[in-house]
A and B are shown apart, each in its own frame.
Chain A
Amino acid sequence: MAKTMTAKTRMRFFKRREKQLNRSVAGNTLLFALMAVCGVFMVLPLVMIVNNAMKPLDELYQFPPKIFVRNPTLENFSDLFTLMNDSWVPFSRYILNTIIITGGGMLGHVIVASMAAYPLAKNKFPGKQLLFSMVVLSMMFSWTVTQIPQYLIISYLHINNTYAALILPAWSFGMGLYLMKQFMEQLPDSLMESARLDGANEWKIFWSIVMPNVKSAWLTLAIFQFQQMWGNTGSLFLRDEQLKPLQYALQQITAGGVARAGAAAAVTFIIAAVPITFFLICQSNVLETMTTSGMKE
């Protein structure tokens, strides 16, 4: 009985294939051990974030420091809440700003990048190769390279100190277009041909045939974009306190020193928990999209 149980559990953890083909018990054990050690290293700081958020102040400054919380409390979160209510600009305003900036950056990017990705993936026209290779090239350097001229351009366009200063550049990130195009290339051409025979134009095909079929790709794009926008404090472009996002307000709270260590721990927890939750909800879509992420020379 016990024997069948272990066999059953192992079946659930490992793929069936590897028991049939080329898989040794020694190898399995080695890999399991390696994953356990590395997994602990990866997860320990995250565990600390969760535990610190629930530690009362005396435990945060305990010697010797302990990772796990003894008397968990939600005090830190209620402290954070009090601090939020005391802030100069109502806290709901920061949340609204984050929703506008993150939502605007996400939605706009998904639409604009998908619109550009469809012709690049499915139509033939002069300049196609050039445009796509420019986008691939843009993935080979980070945004820090372009930030000074970008600042000058944004000032010149007079969108400095508006939401647009953060939202518009986010619409043209390279990776979104890249992933979308790679995914759309997998769609069978017959899908579009039959729609064309029925008299649909390109816009119609894009909106009612292509987009519904690449749902997991644009969900993935939304997550990636969310992560990008979520970390943005907007300090470079936004001067008005009324326009600044949540991330900025939270960082101001953590800058308060020892007395606010508890609230700061709660802040770190919130900052980490939101994107992780987002990813968990859409995990399978992300992996499906990434299968087509590969690059040809």
Chain B
Amino acid sequence: MAATQEGGISSGTVSQEALAMARKQRTLRYQIGRNRESYLMMAPYFVLFFFFTVLPVLMSIVLSFTNFNMLEAPDFVGWRNYIKLFLEDDIFVIALKNTLLFAVITGPVSYMLCLLFAWIINEFKGFLRAFLTLIFYAPSICGNAYLVWNLILTGDRYGYLNGFLLKLGVINEAILWMQTEKYVLPVLIVVQLWLSLGTGFLSFIAGLQTVDKSMYEAAALDGVKNRWQELWYVTLPAMKPQLMFGAVMQITQSFAVADISINLAGNPSVNYAGATVVTHLLDYGSTRFEMGYASAIATILFLLMVGTNKLVQKILGRVGE
């Protein structure tokens, strides 16, 4: 093969057709061969990536059309799981509603908070700056230390929040925060916001540092009068890539809420007030072993997360154009 190729090019007597074919091979196969080392270097990661990310997503989609209990072979049931989810499963509808409410509130709010706090922290320097970064970022890395909220929200007089409100005279008797339907979701949202200043927040803090200082000077000459205008006209457009990355982080996080609901409100929570798509998924996947049904839930969650992310990327992409 190589001989014909070389011969074709050097002699110049071969027909145009053969020459074109040789060129094509040169671009595809030659390129792959030439980059063999690159492919070898990527192989370990992408083999694992295939087994633990790509294949699971595909399997999830396939299994969602089956009835599968881990013991017998899965049998194909068509759209039945999806029909059951939306038409018969009342709890799923509640869970979906809660998740959407959660995402619509915590997603944008946490995104704004990340940006706001990062921006303010950027106005400070030295020790204070490092200290503020730490206390705002710390909750998101503490693992399940958010369980301390259980003490704050204890339903009797010994709870910190109840004790505080009783002392102020705002309430007369202790409130069972996590056993009262109307408080569950708002409280979970507050705790989630407390936990949400994570990777996106760090990305913003770092992004703000990279904005070229001379741009601020130029903007001041162009008539930018205060820091708010500076933020809008100079800073935000300059850190658009970080804004996109932060959006992905916050959106994915806000759809995946489950652990805090299970640990603070219980699973099942009172009247399913704290049920989310993921708690429902865990219920069917790891308690009832209805894997086909759980896969249908997982597939819907996947589409929700990726769809929202793609949409928001598109919207953010237009900012400043």
SS class, residues of chain B in contact with chain A: helix
Q: Are B226 and A63 in contact (CB under 8 A)?
A: no
Q: Are B206 and A287 in contact (CB under 8 A)?
A: yes
Counting CB contacts under 8 A, is A91 at the interface? no
Q: Which A residue sits closest to B316, measured CB to CB?
A: A297
Q: Which residues of B contact A45 (CB under 8 A)?
A: 139, 146, 148-149, 152, 194
Q: Are B245 and A295 in contact (CB under 8 A)?
A: yes
Q: Which B residue sits closest to A254, measured CB to CB?
A: B147
Complex formed: what's the CA distance from A271 to B230 in Å?
Answer: 41
Q: Mark A131-152, 1 if CB is under 8 A from B, else 0.
A: 1001101111110111111101
Q: Known: A112-B45, A291-B207. Contact between A142 and B305, CB under 8 A?
A: yes
Q: Which residues of B contact A39 (CB under 8 A)?
A: 132, 135-136
Q: Are A65 and B159 in contact (CB under 8 A)?
A: yes
Q: How large is the interface on B (under 10, 10 to 19, 20 to 34, 35 or more residues)?
A: 35 or more
Of the listed stretches B2-10, B175-183, B294-302, name the one at the interface; the rest are far from the partner chain.
B294-302
Residues in B259-298 with C-beta less than 8 Å from chain A:
278, 281-282, 285-286, 291, 294-295, 298
Q: Which residues of A contact B158 (CB under 8 A)?
A: 61-63, 65
Q: Known: A140-B248, A290-B206. Contact between A172 and B38, CB under 8 A?
A: no
Of the listed stretches B18-26, B46-54, B75-83, B104-112, name the one at the interface; the rest are far from the partner chain.
B46-54
Q: Known: A27-B227, A64-B166, A279-B137. Contact between A115 and B205, CB under 8 A?
A: no
Report the minimum CB–CB distance from B28 to chain A (whole Å): 7
Complex formed: what's the CA distance from A137 to B217 in Å?
Answer: 38
Q: Are A140 and B38 in contact (CB under 8 A)?
A: no
Counting CB contacts under 8 A, is A227 at the interface? yes
Residues in B220-261 with C-beta less than 8 Å from chain A:
220, 224-227, 229-230, 239-242, 244-245, 248-249, 251-253, 255-256, 258
Counting CB contacts under 8 A, is B14 at the interface? no
Q: Are A119 and B306 in contact (CB under 8 A)?
A: no
Q: Known: A112-B45, A142-B252, A148-B294. Contact between A49 and B134, CB under 8 A?
A: no
Complex formed: what's the CA distance from A172 to B39 in Å?
Answer: 16
Residue among B54, B56, B152, B281 with max Cβ neighbours from chain A (10 Å): B56
Q: Are A144 and B48 in contact (CB under 8 A)?
A: no
Q: Which residues of B contact A124 (CB under 8 A)?
A: 35
Counting CB contacts under 8 A, is A169 at the interface? yes
Q: Mark B125-152, 1 if CB is under 8 A from A, else 0.
A: 1111010111111110111111111011
Counting CB contacts under 8 A, is A56 at the interface? no
Q: Known: A24-B226, A45-B139. Contact between A203 and B41, CB under 8 A?
A: yes
Q: Are B144 and A236 in contact (CB under 8 A)?
A: no
Q: Which residues of B contact A2 (CB under 8 A)?
A: none
Complex formed: what's the CA distance from A134 to B230 in Å?
Answer: 36
Q: Known: A49-B148, A149-B59. Contact between A139 and B252, CB under 8 A?
A: yes
Report the minimum CB–CB distance from A77 to chain B (whole Å): 16
Contacting A294 at CB < 8 Å: which of B145, B203, B256? B203
Q: Which residues of B contact A27 (CB under 8 A)?
A: 226-227
Q: Are B60 and A279 in contact (CB under 8 A)?
A: no
Q: Mark B99-131, 1 if CB is under 8 A from A, else 0.
A: 000000000000000000100110111111010
Complex formed: what's the CA distance from A171 to B309 in Å?
Answer: 24
Q: Are B226 and A22 in contact (CB under 8 A)?
A: yes
Report the minimum CB–CB distance from B156 to chain A (whole Å): 9
Can you name 7 A-B pairs with beta carbons within 8 Å?
A: A15-B125, A38-B117, A45-B148, A146-B53, A206-B41, A286-B202, A287-B202
Given A115-B41, A296-B241, 5 other A-B contacts at CB below 8 A? Answer: A15-B124, A21-B230, A126-B28, A148-B60, A297-B313
Interface residues of B (CB under 8 A from A): 28, 31-32, 34-35, 37-39, 41-42, 44-46, 48-49, 51-57, 59-60, 63, 70, 117, 120-121, 123-128, 130, 132-139, 141-149, 151-152, 157-160, 163, 166-167, 194, 197, 199, 202-203, 205-207, 209-210, 213, 216-217, 220, 224-227, 229-230, 239-242, 244-245, 248-249, 251-253, 255-256, 258, 278, 281-282, 285-286, 291, 294-295, 298, 301-302, 305-306, 309-310, 313, 317
Interface residues of A (CB under 8 A from B): 12-15, 17-18, 21-24, 27-28, 31, 34-35, 38-39, 41-43, 45-46, 48-49, 52, 61-65, 67, 112-113, 115-116, 118-120, 123-126, 131, 134-135, 137-142, 144-150, 152-153, 157, 168-169, 171-172, 174-175, 177, 201-203, 206, 224, 227, 230-231, 236, 247, 251, 254, 268, 271-272, 275-276, 279-280, 283, 286-291, 293-297
